[in-house]
Amino acid sequence: METEQLKRILEALIMASSTPLSMDRMLAVFPEDQQPEHETLREALTALAQDYAGTSLELKEVSTGYRFQVRKDYAEWVGKLWEEKPARYSRALLETLALVAYKQPITRGEIEKIRGVSVNTQIMKTLLEREWVTIVGHRDVPGKPAIYATTKQFLDYFNLKSLADLPPLAEIRDLDQLNGELAFPAAEDEDDAEANANTEGEASDTVVNLDVEAAESEDADMGQAMTAEH
């Protein structure tokens, strides 16, 4: 099969899919005697991505596969197509999510120890409902606390291919900087957070310094952290 034809087929498949498309899923649509090699498929995807260079769309590889998406430069305009406002999350929720991302696997008690305040039950419920975190086991200590880790949906949402794409901890000084690096939804101010039942939680009086806390935690070795699968 010619490269140009393969590119057009892949373009149609990715455009038609409502979720990121993995290479295995792409290969599955071809008859066995016409399936391209993995290397050929990847080369076609690379060429397809180059075709969209300089346009308002980009072919992006995230955790679960490939998808077409609007470039960040045009997000403001596209966002005007929808009347509802994007979800906003409290600082407490974003701090909790950041700690799970960088220190996983981690328990709620360990999160509370680092933040210095209790974690509202609604915060963990929201993260689980959004499928950004999942329970991967239980710590073998009294009470058997749940152990949390991020999911592939978390990576997809924040446009990451793997945990290795997270901004290095050494370059992160506070949550506001992390928001800019990952394009987290805007954190609500204290009044908004209290008014929003879905994101209600304690507002931290201080910003979590992830860099310092990471040095103090035995769970901060990102080289061994694995994203949990559903």
pLDDT for the residue numbered 179:
57
Of the candidate CATH numbers 1.10.287.1080, 1.10.10.10, 3.30.1360.20, 3.40.930.10, the domain formed by 3-79 belongs to 1.10.10.10
- What angle, rounded to 10 degrees, do the helices at 91-103 and 175-182 form? 80
pLDDT for the residue numbered 188:
52
Select from 127, 99, 102 the least CA-distant residue to 114: 99
Select from 181, 173, 168 the least CA-distant residue to 206: 173
Element containing residue 62 per DSSP (H, E):
strand 57-62
Which segments of the chain have a pLDDT < 50?
189-230
pLDDT for the residue numbered 181:
55
| CATH number given to 89-216 | 1.10.10.10
pLDDT for the residue numbered 5:
92
pLDDT for the residue numbered 180:
56
pLDDT for the residue numbered 174:
56
Q: What is the dihedral of CA 156, 159, 162, 164, to 10 degrees?
A: -150
Give span(s): CATH 1.10.10.10, the chain.
3-79, 89-216
The span from the CA of 7 to the CA of 40, in Å, is: 10
